Chain A
Amino acid sequence: MLARFRALRSDLAMVTTVGRDPFGVAFDAILSATEAILDGKRVLLLGTNNYLGLTFDQDCIDSAVAATMAQGTGTTGSRIANGTYGGHAALEQRLARFLGRRHAMVFTTGYQANLGTLSALAGRGDHLLLDADSHASIYDGAKLGNAQVTRFRHNDPDDLRRRLRLLADQPGEKLIVLEGIYSMLGDTAPLREMVEVKREAGAWLLVDEAHSLGVLGAHGRGLAEAEGVEADVDFVVGTFSKSLGAIGGFCAFDLDDFDSLRVAARAYMFTASLPPSIVASVFQAIEAMEAQPQLRDTLRRNGQHLHAGLAAAGFALGAMPSPIVSLPMPDRETAIRFWNQLLDAGVYTNLALGPATPGGKPLLRMSVSAALTPAQIETAIAALAQTGQRLGLVAAGLAAVES
C-alpha cells in the first residue's frame, strides 16, 4: 500500500542524513512570538508567519479563554449539521466590515477556504486561470472542482492576456486567481496590470491575501488596498493563521447570492466549524490589527532590517524587502546543511525544497514578525552571515555584519 512512497521516503532519508528532520521539528516549549525551546536550547523563531506577533496578545488570549469557559472547547460538527454559534456570525460580520465587503464566509482553515471557494465558484464549463507559483491550496481547490484549469507564467500579465485571448471564444466564466504576497519568495502580484487584463477580458478576479492581510495597505487589508484596486477584486480569500495568530480562513465578496456557497462549498459543509476560542481570539485580533497600525510599521522596518543586513553580508536575495526574506540555495545539500547549522546557532528558519518552491529550487525561507526586536534581528543576521561564510555562500563583505 505504501510502496508508492518509496521515492519520497528515500528523499526524506537523504534530507535527514545531514542532521535533524526539517519536517519533524518538535519544540519543547514556545516562550513567545519570537522564541522557543528546542532540545533544551533557546532558539530565535525566524520562520513563523506570525507577522504581527499576536499569538501572545493578552486580549486575544483572554477572549479565547472566556469563550471556552462560556461555550466549551469545540463545536463538534459542521455549521450545516450542528448549527452556527453566535460567534461565527459575529466574526463574519466583523471581517466583512474590516474588509469593506458586504459578506464574508468563515472556513476552518485557510487551506479549506481555497479548496471550498475555488471548487464551488468555478464549475463545469468555467475556466480557472492560476498563477504558476500559486500555493498548493489553490491548485488543490482547482483540482477538486470541475472547471478547466490553465496555468500562466508567474506575475506575467502578458502571458495571462495571451491565454485569455485563446480562451475568448470558449463559453463559461473565467476566474483569475492571484496571491497578494507569494509565500516562498515574498514577492507581490503586479495587481494593477492584472486588473487591466481582467477588465479587458471581462473575467472575475480572486486574490488570496493570506500573507498580505495585516501586512500591506494603509489599514492592513492587503495588496488590493495598497494598490488601490479593491473595487476590481471580486473575491478576497485569506487566513487567520498568519497576521491574526490563530487558525481558520475566509472568503469575502459583495455578491448577494453568497449564501448559496454555504451549501455548495464542500470544504465548508463537511468539516467541523471553528471552535469558540479561535473565533473569539480572531475577532479580538482584528480589533488589535485595526487599533495598532504601528505593528505594520514595525513589521515593515523589521523586514527591511533583515533584508538590508543580509544584502550587506553578501547574500543574493530572492525579492524586494517584505516580511518574507528568502535565500536561494545552490543545491539541496547546501540548503539542508545551512538550515541545520543555523539551528545549531540558535536560529529557526524554514527549509523549502522542490516541488513546493518556484522552479523547484531550494530556499532558506525566513519570515519576520513585528514582535522581533532590532537586537534579535542583528543576532539572526550575524548567525546567517557566519553560516553563509562557512558554507562558502558569501565570500566577502562580512565585515559590517561581524563588527
Chain B
Amino acid sequence: MRIRGREAAGLAAAAAWALLPWAVSDRLSLSIFVLIGLYVPVVAGVALLAGHAGQVSLGQAAFYGLGAYGSAILSTRLGVPPLLSIPAAVAVTGLAAYAIGRPIFLLRGHYLVVATLGLNVIVSVVLRQWVSLTGGASGIKDVPPLAVGPFEIRGDLGYYYVTGALAAASLVLCAHLVRSRYGRALQLVRTSETAAETLGIDPSRAKTGVFVLSAMLAAAPGALYAHYLAYVNPAPFEFTFSVDVLMMGVIGGLPHVPGALVGTALAVLLREALRSFVPRIFGGAATGEFESIAFGLLLAAVTVLSPDGLWPHLRDAALWAARGGRRRAAESRGTSSPADAAASARGEESVAPRALPARGAAQMVDADGAGDVVHGGRAAATAPVLEVEGVRRDFGGLTAVSGVSFTVRPGEVFAVIGPNGAGKTTLFNLVSGVLRVTAGRIALEGRALDRMPAHRVAALGVARTFQTPRLAPRLTARENVMAGLHMRLRAGMLGSLLGRARAEERRAREEAGRLLDTLGAGAFCDTPAGDLPFGALRLVELARALAARPKLLLLDEPASGLSAEERAALFRHVRRAADSGVAVLLVEHDMDFVLGLADHVLVLHHGEPIAWGTPEEIRRDERVLAAYLGAPAAAAGAAASPRPTRAPSGPPLLSVRDVRAGYGRIRVLHGVSFEVHEGEVVAILGPNGAGKTTLMRAVAGLLPAEGEVAYAGRRLDRLPAERMVALGVALVPERRELLESMSVRDHLILGAYARRGRGARREAAADLEEVLALFPDLREKAASPARSLSGGQQQMLAIARALMSRPRVLLLDEPLLGLAPKVVGEILETVARLRERGLAVVIVEQNAAATLRACDRAYVLRGGRIVHEGAAAELAREGRLRGLFIGSAAGGEGAG
C-alpha cells in the first residue's frame, strides 16, 4: 500500500519534471532549473558528508571547479570527447579528494573544514594565475558540447534533462548509500568513533570514502556546467559558492536525502525572486547585499530553530495532507480510519508475545544456522581465549594499571571488580584496543593484540558494550544491530551506492530481528534508538555485540541503570551467551550481579591485583573488604573512636527532600533526602554506582533535578551552580576539577569570584592568608600550575578554592579517593577544623572506615535510595556495611 503510494508519487514527480519546460516556458527561464539540476548533486554530497559522517567541507566549489576545468581542458586542449573527458575529470577530482581526505581523517576533530577551505582558496588562486593552462581570469572558451554519437546536446532544454537526470541519479545513489551497510557505519562513526571501531569499522576510511564521493558528486555537475555554457572562468568556483552549497544543504536538512533537492530549489528560487523583486522596491540593479542578508538570516534561523532543516516539516505537511485526502476517500467508502489504526495497533500487540525470550541456549548466537557454537561452555580444559600477562599502563607519571595477569576461557564469565579508581576501565580499554599498553602482553587465541587499532581487534573477534550505550540515535534498533553485523557483510561502497546487496541486506535484517527477539527486545525492532527506553538500549547494544559473533565479549557495567527485572533478564542473557561458548569479561559495580554471574573474579585496587578467585572466595576475602571500606574495616570502631555525637540542634542549614535525578533516560536517584546542620559533619556512604556523585551534582546545581533543596530556610532547587556558590553552598567535586594550567594563586583568587560588593577585595585578600595558613603546602606552591601538584595537594587546593567563596555548606565528593593514608588523615583533620568554625560539611565517600571517624552522622546510599541513617559511631560498630559493599551472601538477585 505504502510502496504503491510512493511509486505513484515518484511517477507523478517524473511526469511533472518531464513536462515542466512547457509549463513554465514563458514565465521562467529554464536555465534556473538547469542550475538547480547542477547544484543538487553538489548539495547532496555535502549533506551526505555533514549529515551522515558529521564532517563539514567548505571546499565543494573547488571540486566543482576541478570537474569543470578538468573536462574543459581535456576537451579543448587534448580533443578528448566530452563523453570521456567528463568521467576522467570526475575521477581525477576523486583522487585529489582522496589525497587530502586520507591523511586529514587520521586527525580527530574537525580539521576537514580547515583543509577544504584552504584547498578552495588555493584552487581559485591557481585558476586565476596559471594562465597558460587555465586561461586566467578570462577562462577557457569554445568548450565543445556534450555529444552522444551524432547527437549534440545544446541549449537549456537539453541540459535541463541531462542535469535533471544527474540530480535524480545522485539522490537515488545517496538514498541507497544511507540505508546500506556503509550508511550504518557512517552513522556509527558519527555517534561514537570508539563504538564504530569496536564493530570493526575503520572510521578514517569510512569518512575518506564519503568525502571522495562528495567530491565526485561535485565534479560531475561541474564538468557538465563547462559543456553547458561552452565556457568556464574562475568566478563560480570561489569560496562563496562552497558556503552557498553548505547553506542549501542546511536549509533543506543535512540528515535527509530529499533535503538536498528542497534546499537547493528553495535557495535558487529565492535568489531569483530577490533579483526580480528587490530592484522594483528599492530601485537600482545591485541586489547582492539583500541576497546575502536574506540568506544569512534564513540560515541562522534554520540552524537555531530547526537544526534538521526544512524537509522534515515539508514531509510532515505532505503526509498530513495525504492522510487527510485518504481519510476523505475512506469516509466516502464508508470505512473510518480510526478503526484502521486500531487494527494496526492490535497487529503490533500480537507481535509482542512472539518477541519474548526464546528458551534454549544455542539460539542465542546461532542465529542463521551457520555458527560454530560450542555447547555447554565452562569446559576448563579448552585453551584460553584471552591471555593478559603483566600488563601495565601509565598516564604521564601516573600508573593506572600494573602487574595484571589473567586468562579467560571460552564459556567463562570473568569479572573485574574494585573500588573507584582501581583501573577497571583502563584495563577494559586496553583489552579492546582503545588504549595501548605501556608494558606487558595481551593476546587473543595466541595472537598479540596490544599493538593493534581497535577495529582490527574487533575483527579478531572481540566485541564490547559501553557504560552508557552508544547506539546511533537515528537508526532503528534493528539497524543498530545490523551495524553489529558489519564485519560479516560484504557490500562495499559501490555495491551500497547501487543498492546491489539486496539479498545480503535481507538476511541481515532477519538475523538482527531474530537476535532482538531472543533478547526480548523484538518489539523495539523498528523504533529509532533515540526513542528507546534505557533498559532497551542496553539490550540492543548487547544484541549488537553478539551480532558480530565474538569470541570474547566485553561488558562494561551492563547492569547499571537497570531495574531488578531487567537485571535478571540481562543475567540470563549473559549466562546463555557464555554457555554457547563466548568468553565474557565483565566490569560491574553491582556485587550481587557480579558474584552471582561470574565464574572467576579479579579484584583491582590502585591499579594492582589484590585478589583472584571464585565469587565465594572473594566474598570471604578480608583484603577485598578493606579495599572497599578503607583500611582496617573490622577494627574501625575501636582504633580511632568517633567523637561523641552532638545531637543536632535547631533547624538544618541544608535540607534535601526527595531529590530525583539522572542522565538522559537513566534514572540514578529515586527520591533521596538528607540534611545537615551548622557545625555538623555528615557522611553519605555507598558503593560505586550508588548515585553519590549524581546526588552532589544535583544538589550543587550542576545537574537538573526534581525535588526540594532548602538552604537557610530558602528554596534553592533549580538554581544553577554559579548562583549556589554565591549563596554559600560550595561543592568540591569528584576528581577535583582543577584548572590544570592555572596557578594555585589563580585558583584561590577565582574562588572568591562569586563575592562582590564593597570591601570584597580586602576580605578576599584576608581570606587568602587564612586559607594558606590552613594549607601551608599551598603557600609554597602558590605560583605553580595545578597539574604540578601531588594528589593530596590537589585535593587541598580544591577544598581551599571552595573555602574562598566563604561557604556555609561544603559538599565534598570523594575527597579521599586515591590518597595515601597519611594524606587521608590530614584532609579529615582539616574537615574537623572546618566543623569547629561552624561549617556544615557533607562528605560523600566510599572509604567508610576513615570517613566514619570524622563525621557525626551518616547516611547509606544504595541504588539511588537512602537505605540507612544513623549516628556515625553506631554505624561503625555494626557490621552492616560489609554486606553493603561485598553483596549479600545469599548469591545474586539475578540468579533466578
A binds B: no
